[in-house]
Each structure stands twice: as C-alpha cells, then as structure tokens.
Structure 1
C-alpha cells in the first residue's frame, strides 16, 4: 500500500532532483567504469590540448581552462562527466516542473530521455568532448524553461544561454528547436489562448536570433575557415538532403531490433493516442481542422530535427553524436504517451519506465563493448610497441608511417553483442587497429599516421620483404623510414561453446 502511494503521490523538488541524480549517474556509470580514451581523447590527453576554438566551440576551451586551472586541458576524467551529470540532473528537474506542476514518478520519466537517448552514448564516450556536449543541452533546457516578469530577462538571459550552448556544441541548436516543438503540444494541452501562444513562440524566435548573434560576435570569429560550409545550392541540394536523410534512417533503424522495435512501436502508438486525445479535447472548444493539424505538426518536424542542421552541411557527418535531436523526439513521444495513459488510469504512465530500462540496459551493454575495445587496444599497443622496441633499426628510424586502414571486424570479442544489438557497432565507431597517438604512452615516439599520399599503404603492395610479419600487421623498413601496414582481419567464425 505504501509503495502504491509513493508511485502515485506528488514529489517534492528535492525528491525529483534525487531521482535524476541517481538516474543520470546510472546511465554514465558503464562509461566511467570502462575508462576508454575515445578517438580524439588520445591526442588531447597526450598534448593536454584543447583547440576547440577553431571548431567554433570557444566556450569548451574556457570550460577546461576553468576546471583545470590551467591554460590548456590536462586529463581530469571523470570529473567533467560527473559535474555534467549533476548539471543535467538540475536541468531535468527544472524541465519536469515546467511540464508538470505536480510531478509524480511517472512525470519524471517524461524528461529523462534527453539523457537516456541511445545515440547520446557516443557523445558521452568522449572523455573531453562529452561533458561539453552535455552542458550545451543543459544550457538549452534552462533557456527553454526560464520564466521572468522582466521582459529584458525573458529575452536576454535565454539568448545568452543559447549562445553558450552553441559555443559548446553547435548541434545542440537541434535540441532547442525540438524542445520548442514540444512546447507547442504543451500549450495546446493546457489550452492557452492564441495570443499567448503567438507571444510565446515569438519570444522563442527572438531568443534564438539574438543568441545566434551573440555567438556570432563571441565564438564564431575564432572558427577556422572551411569548417561548417553549407551545401552548394546550385548543385541540387534537395537531392543531397534526401540522401543524407536516408543515411540517418539507416542508422536509426539499427536501434530497432528485437524487443527494442516492439517498445518503440508501442511508444509511438501511445503517443498517437495522446495526439488524438489532445486534439479532441482542444477541438471541443470549437471544431477546427487547423487545430488538429497543429497537434500533428511537431512530429515530422522533430523527425527532421534528429539530424537537424547537419543535413545542410557540405561535409555531412552521420555519426551518432550528431543525432542529439533523437532524445527530444523521445521526450515528445513520452509526453504524449503520458497524456494518453494518464487519461485512463493514474498508474498506467509508469509503463514509460520500460523503454527507459531498455535504454539503460543498452548503456551497460555498450559499456561492456567499450571495455572489450580497451582490452583489445591495450593488447594491440603492447604487440606493436614490443615489435618496434625489439628491432634497433626500427627504434632508430627517423619516422615510421602507420597505414590508415579501416575494418568492422577488429573487435571479434564483441561479435555476439554486435549481432544481437547492431546499434552497438554504430555507437562504438572504432574501425581502426591502432592510432599513432597511442604509441607515445608505450615510449614509441617516432610513429605518425600516413598522410594523403598513403605511402605506408602503397608499400604493402610493392612486394618488399617485411621486417616484422605479425598476426594483424607487417612492418617494413626502407632506408631510414619504417612503414606499418595493417592486414585485413580474417572472416573466421567464432567458436560455439
């Protein structure tokens, strides 16, 4: 009886915050335990380098300078991620009270998908970039939820927060636009007057424009030329946008396997029922086809905002870290599903815990994959550094070029997980054997990645005799220069135990 009362009763702000502190920490716990330096983390940790300003992310530089009390970015993981998780807990608490005046445990589940987004796992994998990306979402949530009696504060403070968010990670603009779409359903559900709705969204537009202007005069001037170039509008951009959308759909489809597909279908059906319920309730005050259309409008908009502004970039990036809009799409579906379920019974919205548990399970599965990748990377580092150290001519070489060779079969230890959860391979996105930046940690400092000429790759096809012929690579020595050429991983089957 007491448990039943707890599940249905209103929670205080402190209780909501404690819930989010626990939930956000659980989601990042597998990544913290894995402690795997992810792609860019290798060179950043080696050089204590930041250099985000050239990417238009000046405030990320400032963030690490403030956290480390230096002018650079020494490795202090997992402190930034823990701080970002705490900040996200505060932001989700604020968003929950923004959506529900008397939140229950089920109401807390509505806002949580912003953090419990499967594709956000790749963002959080970056020990350096991940916390900055998370804080950009925090800034956007505060910009959406800020309320003040002062008109200047209502416009200026959110605009500054939007500029801060863009200066941390530009893709977060998709999150802001997506939360504005969720706001549309929220005001429709509360049956706000047309005039108030127009004022609300006019204010959001003004905040966005002013925020972009502030970003333009603060962080944007530091961006390197050539970055963020848009599509060529004279070369059929609609075709390219369509192709990019197709590639995103293929990646999202990787998530919809097994029970995850059924969960997503059920969530979508409940959300559609929520749209029907809100539309019918609103139209009872005066039948209007326009009002029904407004209730349906956010759904296709939010689907486009999954990749969002990346669709318009000349160099389209289909990585999971760019799909931050997917979390907002889930919030939209959760909000509508909560409306539909609560209309029938106050306990039914607790069903929303199921997709959250599925995403948490995916997080722990991904954490195990990261651990396997770390073991493989350490083994590869030991093997390569041992072979170089064992040959004096390689140690004394002026330079050793490492070939750039990609394959999706390096991590055989996770083959079973990849087969059952294909999205894990997409999230991991590590398809190389070794990065040159890893070798200095083993005392090898004369290895660099091959450049555009692909000199190491070409050496492998020229018939030279290899100085070292290992399981996964060959090492050649030509004069004072060495060349590491990767072999294609075998297609062998795993043993059936």
Structure 2
C-alpha cells in the first residue's frame, strides 16, 4: 500500500509522464468515438471527400488529409485521425510538463491536463474532420513553447515554423500560444529567474511570433478568401462591438458554472488566489532591486486579464464574430493558470494535497461523457428524421421524380427532447451541441435521395407563398408540398421542451 501511495508523489521520468497522459487523453475522447456522430460540416465533407480548408487559410489541414489518406481529397477515415492527434497531444503534454516542472510528479501532470480537458474544446473535437486538425494545431504551439536548442537562430526558426504550421491548421490556436507565453512569465517569477532572462524570454517569444506570422503569410495565407480576413470596421465604434462580443462570450461561459460545477470551480478559484499570493511573495524576494520587482510584479499581474481576454482572443476582432464554443480555445489556458496557481498554494502545505486537482478534472471528464450521450441521442433523432423523410419521398412517385425539392430549415432550441434532462442539469451541453435544425440537405444522399437541396433565396416563398396549397405529406415535424415539378419541405416549429416528470 505504501508503494502505491508513493507512486503519486515520486518523481516521474519522461516515459512515465507520457504513459500517464496517453490513457488520460484517450478516455476524454472515448465518448465522441463511441457516439460516432458526423457533426455539421462532416456531412458534406464525407459525402464528397471534400476539403475547402485552403480558402480559409488552413492549407496545412488539406495537406494533412492528403498525406493521411494517400489521395488528393479527404475520404472519411474517422476515428484514425483523432487517434493520431490524441497520441500527438499526449507527447506534447508530456513535453510541456517537463518545461514547467524540473521534477514532475503526478500532481504536476494534473496541472497541464486542462489543456485537453477544456469543456469547450469538446465542440472542436465533435468535428470528425476538423477536430484532429485543430488538435494538431494545439500540439504545434505547445512544441513551439517547449523547443530548446543551443543555437539562437535554430531556437527562433523552429518555433516560428511550428507557429506557422499551427496557423495553417487552425488560426485560433494562436490564443493558446499567447496564453502559454503568459504562463511562462509566471513560471519565471516563481523560479526567481534573474532579470536578464526576462528580456531574453520576452524578446524570443516576440521574434518567434513575428517570424511565424511571416512564414504563414507566404505559405497558407495567400490561399485565403477575402471574406475570411475582414476585421471590425474601425470607423464604426469597434470598441463597442468588442465589448458586446465579450459580453456574449461571458454569457456562454457562465453556462458551465451550474450546480456542482459552480462549487468545484469556486474552490479552484480560492486555491488559485492563495497561490497568486504565494507567487507575489516570491516576486518580493527577487534580488534585482525594487524597481525591477515592481516591473516583474506588474507583468505577472497583467497576465491574468490577458489570459482572460485570450479565451476568445483574436476572434473578437473579426467582423463576422463567431461565439461558438469552438473559438474558446483560450479557456484551456485559463484553466491551466488556475491549476498552476492552485498547485503553488497546495504543494507547500502537503505533498499529496495537489492531488485535489483531480476533482475538477473528474468534473470535466464527466461532462465529456454526458456530452457523448447527448451526441448519441442526437444521432438517434437525426437517423429517425432521415428515414422519415426518405420514406415519405420514396413513397410518392411525384416527389421521387421532382426536378428539385427545396428544404426550408427552421431553427429552434427545442428539437432534442430526449436530452431535455441533461440540458436542464448541464446547460452548457446545449451550447456545446450547437445543433438547432431538424435536418440538413446533405444528409439525404446517404439514403439515396439526391434531388433535395437547401433553400436559400426562395425561403420566404416557401414559408408564406406555398402555404395556401394543400400539403402532399404532413406529420409532426414537417410538411411537403408539390407544385409542378418542384417540391418544398417546410420544417415546422417544434413545441418548447416541457419539464419531464416520470
């Protein structure tokens, strides 16, 4: 029993750290693999083995699938890409652990695990095509942080190439890199690094970011479409728009702190505050003079609002602001910041106390499994909807032979009745799922229906103009009209989900 207990506090080697992260990372994505639900964009990508990443400035995502599938497209090979990306993440987290801790233990590994156990990252991982690519983007920025070489030119160039690679896979991952740079400052303060090292650290990171951006600009950026690069209109109150965007992000983040999660994270925040005080005392003990103590203290203090701003980060400055959970990658670094400060508070009290960090990690792991079950319910509902439409279309010859059937989508938060209980207890699950439609036109070819297309400019005509005609098919969820050689599927507005009592 003593030996087993000592395992949690003894120093670990690189292989042991990796062996800890490998099952820890795999178990987090296990519910998504078991659900095996093609998520939104996955439907059209799997249908045509399509890519279309280059026009989003993500050229390296296309190259990844070209290399992995030995083709010029992106055939569906899920879950192989996710397994490869998860394996790469376990190596990256092991490398980051040795970057922050000279003699890592299990508790030290727990500090870095939130980079993967980010609840909002579940939406990124939901994409069977994009999820692995985004993961590899995070892996690239982690190695850009941890890379070390005695040659100054190599020390600048390799991380710069890794940053460019990360941007070419998924641009939002730059938030993770910048957040980890902030954590580097806190680590330097806690280790009482001499003042000259601060200048080297900050200068090196700035040089790496600039070089990485320049490399990205001459590789993947030229392929990007114009609409992707539109920033806020600086002549029309941009700071007001940023303020609105921040409020919308905060509104979504608050969904996570519900029920027991609120108490768990309140305890984590309390420990982090104590850790911040301990870190401040270390800064006071700095031997480089009072002025430099104040400067170091100010930089450490500023890391907190900067990391909070990086939760959404660069996404705040784009004209087409996306408030989806997949853009909140910086929340992972905020969690690591809280975990790191909590570790600084708990470790001096007792060597086993930092193992309490397992509690919030288990909470996030349970959220992953709850989300996996919601995806399974969504898959069941989507499959039922698909077969219902297929049956109604194939049972009417006129619909089978129609030149075109337009699908008019009705957006609603009340489609998935089967997950109503989970949504009530964990409101963040609905935000993560982000599916507010009954059916996508891209799903129909899976059952042999090829004449259905998503309606765009004709939507008003369908919803209003054709309502006067009798429906050829009507059920609980939709009506199908047939006017001449054209059909129109009008999705009904679902009734609000009522509280379930059994």
Please state which band the TM-score falls in when normalised by the shorter chain. Answer: over 0.9
Question: What is the alpha-carbon distance in structure 2 between the residues aligned to residue 86 and residue 54 of structure 1?
Answer: 28
2:360 to 352, 355, 365: 355
Q: CA deviation at 1:290?
A: 3.6
Question: What is the alpha-carbon distance in structure 1 between the residues aligned to residue 277 and residue 176 of structure 2?
Answer: 25
Question: What is the alpha-carbon distance in structure 1 between the residues aligned to residue 447 and residue 20 of structure 2?
Answer: 43
**Cα distance, 1:459–1:199 mapped onto 2, change above 3 Å:** same
Q: CA deviation at 1:159?
A: 0.3
Contact 1:456 1:483 in 2 (8 A): no
User: Which ranges of 4 or more aligned residues in structure 1 deviate by more than 6 Å?
Assistant: none
Q: In the TM superposition, what are the counterparts of 1:191-230 in structure 2 within 5 Å?
A: 191-230=192-231
Report which stretch shifted further, 263-272 or 145-154: 263-272
Question: What is the alpha-carbon distance in structure 2 between the residues aligned to residue 12 and residue 121 of structure 1?
Answer: 30
User: Paired residue for 2:59?
Assistant: 58
Question: What is the alpha-carbon distance in structure 1 between the residues aligned to residue 387 and residue 465 of structure 2?
Answer: 22
Q: CA deviation at 1:452?
A: 2.9
Task: Report whether the alignment pairs 1:312 with 2:313.
Answer: no
| Partner SS state of residue 380, structure 2 | helix
Question: What is the alpha-carbon distance in structure 2 between the residues aligned to residue 424 and residue 452 of structure 1?
Answer: 32
Alignment TM-score, normalising by the size of structure 1:
0.98
Alignment TM-score, normalising by the size of structure 2:
0.97
Question: What is the alpha-carbon distance in structure 2 between the residues aligned to residue 495 and residue 312 of structure 1?
Answer: 42
Task: Report whether the alignment pairs 1:269 with 2:274.
Answer: no
Question: What is the alpha-carbon distance in structure 2 between the residues aligned to residue 328 and residue 493 of structure 1?
Answer: 37
2:423 to 404, 418, 424: 418
Aligned residues: 497
User: Paired residue for 1:379?
Assistant: 384
Contact 1:273 1:340 in 2 (8 A): yes
Q: In the TM superposition, what are the counterparts of 1:55-134 in structure 2 within 5 Å?
A: 55-134=56-135
User: Paired residue for 1:9?
Assistant: 10
Report which stretch shifted further, 356-365 or 225-234: 225-234
Report which stretch shifted further, 457-466 or 6-15: 457-466
Q: CA deviation at 1:492?
A: 5.6
Contact 2:189 2:282 in 1 (8 A): no
Contact 1:472 1:487 in 2 (8 A): yes
Q: In the TM superposition, what are the counterparts of 1:271-350 in structure 2 within 5 Å?
A: 271-285=272-286, 288-350=293-355
Q: Root-mean-square deviation (CA), in Å?
A: 1.1
2:371 to 349, 366, 372: 366
Q: CA deviation at 1:494?
A: 5.2
Task: Report whether the alignment pairs 1:25 with 2:30.
Answer: no
Question: What is the alpha-carbon distance in structure 2 between the residues aligned to residue 232 and residue 430 of structure 1?
Answer: 30
Q: CA deviation at 1:63?
A: 0.2
Unpaired stretches in structure 2, ≥5 consecutive residues: none
Q: CA deviation at 1:404?
A: 2.0
Contact 1:121 1:363 in 2 (8 A): yes
Q: CA deviation at 1:51?
A: 1.2
Unpaired stretches in structure 1, ≥5 consecutive residues: none
Question: What is the alpha-carbon distance in structure 1 between the residues aligned to residue 500 and residue 201 of structure 2?
Answer: 61
Can you list the C-alpha shifts for 1:380-407, whole angstroms capped at 9, x where unaligned?
0000010000000000000000002100
Report which stretch shifted further, 483-492 or 288-297: 288-297
Contact 2:140 2:162 in 1 (8 A): yes
Question: What is the alpha-carbon distance in structure 1 between the residues aligned to residue 90 and residue 146 of structure 2?
Answer: 14
Question: What is the alpha-carbon distance in structure 2 between the residues aligned to residue 199 and residue 164 of structure 1?
Answer: 24
Q: CA deviation at 1:459?
A: 4.5
1:449 to 448, 454, 470: 454
Q: CA deviation at 1:451?
A: 1.2
Q: CA deviation at 1:53?
A: 0.2
